[in-house]
Amino acid sequence: MELTFEIFRFDPEVDTAPRYQTYRVSADPTERILDCLNRIKWEQDGSLSFRMSCGHGVCGSDAVRINGRCALACQKLVKDVAEAQPVRVEPLPSFKVLKDLVVDLEPFFEKVHWVKPYLLGGPEAPEKERLQNPEERKKLDHVIRCILCACCVASCPVTAENDRFLGPAPLVWAFRYIFDGRDKEKENRLRRVDTPDGAWGCRNHFECTRVCPKEIPVTKSINIIKREIEKVLR
Amino acid sequence: MPERHTHDVVIVGSGLAGLRAAVETAGRLNVALISKVFPTRSHSGAAQGGIAAALGNEEPDSWEWHMFDTVKGGDYLTDQDAAEVLARDAPRAVYELEHMGVPFNRNPDGTIAQRAFGGHTRNFGEAPVRRACYASDRTGRVILDTLYGQCVQRGIQVYPELSVVDLVVRDRVVCGVVALDWATGELHIFHAKAVMLATGGFGKVFKTTSNCFANTGDGAALVYRHGFPLQDMEFVQFHPTGIYGLGVLISEAARGEGGILRNRLGERFMERYAPTIKDLAARDVVSRAIMSEIRAGRGIDGRDFVHLDLTHLGKERLAERLSDISSFVRIYLGIDPAEAPIPVQPTCHYMMGGIPTDVDGQALDAQGRPIAGLYAAGECACVSVHGANRLGCNSLLDLVVFGRRAGRHMAAQVPKTDLVPLPSQSDAFVRERMAQIKERTKGVRPVLLRERMQQEMMERCGVYRTAEGLEKALETVRGLQEEFRRNVFLDYRGDRYNTDLMEALELESLLTLAEVILVSAASRRESRGAHSREDYPERDDRNHLHHTLVFRDETKLHVTAKPVSITRFQPKPRVY
């Protein structure tokens, strides 16, 4: 089928303002939007820049906004968007555009690092594995699916207004260590996010949950953190 | 002038091998980690099924059995001294990952859960054994995230979105790399006492592959271009179960959990090819079985795929242990694997060959001597623990075991080493080559050359090979190399995020490696592991129980043999 794309173009070194460029591509209904972007780049316009790598929703590189909704270009198929043409592809909102669909994710990763995304397990190092109850481990099932694509942060209405808000994905990573029974710093971790720009910044808009390509219950996880703060710290 | 950086060690690649080495050297050496993607985007994260270690949490197991399976899986081309290191160190490596925080699935008693995987057996081949430690079907992803966290904690300096485009070599001593920064288009020179390559595989040589777009073998190609050898490049693993048409991987864990391959007649055909362990035979065996069924007209609807049947596993088990692959199948095929079988075909998955190294990650020259200043680990390297065919779950293990050992060796040796002065104009070669490509205003686009290479390699150098086919493919690939040199042009000449240029440089790596794969495959006139010659269908230990080395000097290309280390297990017929 024939598809019309309108793609956001901006090279801050050359352009004074962004523009939308129209491309026509033929693609099968079951092909990925990423396949279309590649066809455009390879066959029509090599100046179009975007990130990609694994092509099947595991690495998190190709997060963009497709027809107003943040998603991975490799996880959306042509048939999903064919009804709503032209298909508008834009960079993730809330981030500085470096070129075309490539945004500056540095501030995002800084926030992920801020939550200390590593186990603080205390001094003991047993000879074998530390034992962990399967039920305890199950609490982490959803949050370890996060691939740091930043779709959630880009869709968050709170982040859009307040760039100091920690944001959904960093809170998901905070959750991952707060609720890992092997971690010895639970209280400190809770204190760290017990701030107006931490867990309490979330206003339950649920946009993060709606867009998450890995179907993580993001908002619910943030609310569980809030409850744990009430329970442990108050 | 290019920006200059000086570090004790430069690690290229941020998958598990690179990250594990970085963790090992942290605090002891000044390390730089260069990666063309942001670290958590590395392709180690796509590994699904598990990491092998004889923990014996589910049933009795031993490292000797694991070592035997690895050697037999590699069709006796595995270096047994290295396989012993791998199998013995595996339990320690997994416990260490657990201590770092990897969220492995657990048994009711709290120990790490383990499941069956292809080629892993108890008591030297008697029956499948549960040896794969896993976190659902995203084991690679959670280990990547964990090791990345360890690097964050240790403050490792990361240079993301830089591609290494040349090695700096002075009098056969590697003393740095030249890298291209995608954000600015600027070249950087990294000056170091040691360079470690952990740049991964190069499945993008082939049309159908489970590999990511970034898997273009840049590190291996650079080593070869500098006259150093590549080893066992003919051994390319085709994973039996790629999603039909797309190549995306359906983990072997699907069969480890009880999934069954079926042909057009609904027959469990693996019973005929591997009577003892059936669907859990080694990957090369299963891929050939699928191709045989397809050739005999027993593909589904007579077409070029078979079915992977998971319908009897039940929704709960699929959700708990195979949730990612279930979602891939839903998204890309519109199929619920609990309700309908999955169409699959072999997909290029893993390169057994690469930069020859010793068990401490030191890269070796054609005479087997360490190359001063150069280390390699992971898929770009060839230790060789995988021989002619890698077993599932042995690659994640390889990455953390030999990534650590390379890091440890560097931490011990580098402080005793002086920085070799950089040659003048270290970046001159790259600068000129890039200028040539950028200056051209007409010619052929990289994509056309790449697609022809991928098609040709798939057709003539896939699961089955012949002398005639390999010769034709070699002619084609050399023609494409020539066309690349004379004619390739870019649509975009700007500096910022010029992915057009990036893909052209990657194509140059791929074309280099395709040639080496073909030359190696043509030289091996036998069938062993993943290398299946229709004109030489038998394994020939008399003439070919050796590794293949390919290297070139100013005048010509050399193919030489290197002995295999055989310590505990004498070669035997390989029956599953």
What is the SS3 assignment for chain A? CEEEEEEEECCCCCCCCCEEEEEEEECCCCCEHHHHHHHHHHHHCCCCCCCCCCCCCCCCCCEEEECCEEEECCCCEHHHHCCCCCEEEECCCCCCEEECCEECCHHHHHHHHHCCCCCCCCCCCCCCCCCCCHHHHHCCCCHHHCCCCCHHHHHCHHHHHCCCCCCHHHHHHHHHHHCCCCCCCHHHHHHHHCCCCCHHHCCCCCHHHHHCCCCCCHHHHHHHHHHHHHHHHC
Q: Are residues A42 and A148 in the same domain?
A: no
Q: Is B451 labeled as ligand-binding?
A: no
**A contacts of B184 (beta carbons < 8 Å):** none
SS3 B86: helix
Q: Is B462 labeled as ligand-binding?
A: no
- Is residue B571 within 8 A of residue B545, CB to CB? The reply is yes
Q: Find all residues with CB under 8 Å of A194, minimum gap 6, and list them.
A: A200, A229, A233
pLDDT of residue A122: 73
A42 vs B445: CB contact, 8 Å cut-off? yes
Q: Is B200 labeled as ligand-binding?
A: no
The mean pLDDT value of chain B amounts to: 97
- Which residue of chain B has the CA closest to A13? B496
A60 vs B40: CB contact, 8 Å cut-off? yes
Look up tokens 């078979």; give the residue: B306
B109 vs A43: CB contact, 8 Å cut-off? no
pLDDT per residue as tens digits for the range B446-484: 999 999 999 999 999 999 999 999 999 999 999 999 999
pLDDT of residue B13: 98
A59 vs B331: CB contact, 8 Å cut-off? no
Structure tokens at B475: 């002619």
CA distance A221 to chain B (A): 18
Name residues 53-112 of chain A within 8 A of B (Cβ).
Answer: 53-61, 75, 77, 98-100, 102, 105, 109
CATH of the domain at A65: 3.10.20.30
Residue B538: how many other CB atoms lie within 10 Å: 9
When CB atoms are compared, the residue of A14, A118, A180 closest to B150 is A118
Domains of chain B: 241-347 (3.90.700.10), 427-536 (1.20.58.100)
pLDDT per residue as tens digits for the range A7-21: 999 999 899 999 999
pLDDT band for position A121 (cuts 50, 70, 90): confident
A147 vs B141: CB contact, 8 Å cut-off? yes
- Domain endpoint, select from A37, A70, A103: A103
Q: Is B18 labeled as ligand-binding?
A: yes
Q: Find all residues with CB under 8 Å of B314, minimum gap 6, and list them.
A: B338
pLDDT per residue as tens digits for the range A69-93: 999 999 999 999 999 999 999 999 9
Q: How many residues does chain A have?
A: 234
Q: Are residues A125 and A228 in the same domain?
A: yes
Consecutive H or E run containing B241: strand B236-243
Q: Are residues A229 and A142 in the same domain?
A: yes
- Domain endpoint, select from A55, A76, A103: A103
SS3 B495: coil
A134 vs B499: CB contact, 8 Å cut-off? no
pLDDT per residue as tens digits for the range B163-200: 999 999 999 999 999 999 999 999 999 999 999 999 99
Residue A171: how many other CB atoms lie within 10 Å: 30
CA distance B139 to B103: 9
In chain B, pLDDT over 90 holds for what percent of residues?
A: 99
Q: Are residues A52 and A114 in the same domain?
A: no
B105 vs A134: CB contact, 8 Å cut-off? yes
**A contacts of B135 (beta carbons < 8 Å):** 144
Per annotation, catalytic residue among B122, B138, B255, B283: B283
**pLDDT of residue A124 exceeding 80:** no
Q: Are residues A65 and A76 in the same domain?
A: yes
B213 vs A52: CB contact, 8 Å cut-off? yes
pLDDT of residue B361: 98
Domain count, chain A: 2
- Is residue A210 within 8 A of residue A218, CB to CB? The reply is no
**B contacts of A134 (beta carbons < 8 Å):** 105-108, 110, 113
Q: Are residues A120 and A96 in the same domain?
A: no
Q: Is B547 labeled as ligand-binding?
A: no
**B contacts of A77 (beta carbons < 8 Å):** 331-332
When CB atoms are compared, the residue of B103, B214, B496 closest to A53 is B214
**pLDDT of residue B86 exceeding 80:** yes
H-type alpha helices, B207-339? 218-225, 253-256, 270-273, 283-295, 315-321, 323-333
CA distances from B546 to B75, B394, B464, B531, B570 (A): 11, 22, 21, 14, 14
pLDDT per residue as tens digits for the range B362-410: 999 999 999 999 999 999 999 999 999 999 999 999 999 999 999 999 9
When CB atoms are compared, the residue of B99, B145, B495 closest to A121 is B99
**pLDDT of residue B300 exceeding 90:** yes
CA distance B234 to B548: 8
Q: Are residues A92 and A131 in the same domain?
A: no
Q: Are residues A109 and A165 in the same domain?
A: yes
Name residues 2-61 of chain A within 8 A of B (Cβ).
Answer: 11, 13-14, 30, 41-43, 45-47, 49-50, 52-61
User: What is the mean pLDDT of the segment spanning A142-150?
Assistant: 97
**A contacts of B153 (beta carbons < 8 Å):** 116, 118
- Is residue B266 within 8 A of residue B393, CB to CB? The reply is no
Q: Does any CB of chain B come closer than 8 Å to the CB of residue A162?
A: no
SS3 B48: coil
B500 vs A47: CB contact, 8 Å cut-off? yes
| Structural domain for A140, as ranges | 105-233
CATH of the domain at A187: 1.10.1060.10
pLDDT band for position B353 (cuts 50, 70, 90): very high
pLDDT of residue B384: 94
DSSP bridge partners of A90 = A65
When CB atoms are compared, the residue of B46, B98, B135 closest to A58 is B46
Q: Are residues A97 and A119 in the same domain?
A: no
In chain B, pLDDT over 70 holds for what percent of residues?
A: 100
Q: Are residues A79 and A118 in the same domain?
A: no
pLDDT of residue B1: 78
Q: Are residues A99 and A109 in the same domain?
A: no
pLDDT band for position B555 (cuts 50, 70, 90): confident
Consecutive H or E run containing B457: helix B446-460
CA distance B210 to B220: 19
pLDDT of residue A13: 87
- Interface ipTM > 0.90: yes
- Which residue of chain B has the CA closest to A76? B331
> Phi/psi of residue A18, each to 5°?
-65, 160
- Domain endpoint, select from A103, A125, A143: A103
Whether B283 is catalytic is: yes
The mean pLDDT value of chain A amounts to: 96
pLDDT per residue as tens digits for the range B107-136: 999 999 999 999 999 999 999 999 999 999
User: What is the mean pLDDT of the segment spanning B514-538?
Assistant: 98
User: What is the mean pLDDT of the segment spanning B35-55?
Assistant: 97
**B contacts of A109 (beta carbons < 8 Å):** 38
Pairs of CB atoms within 8 A across A/B: 157
Q: Are residues A17 and A86 in the same domain?
A: yes
Q: Is the dihedral of CA B291, B295, B296, B301 positive or negative?
A: positive
B94 vs A129: CB contact, 8 Å cut-off? yes
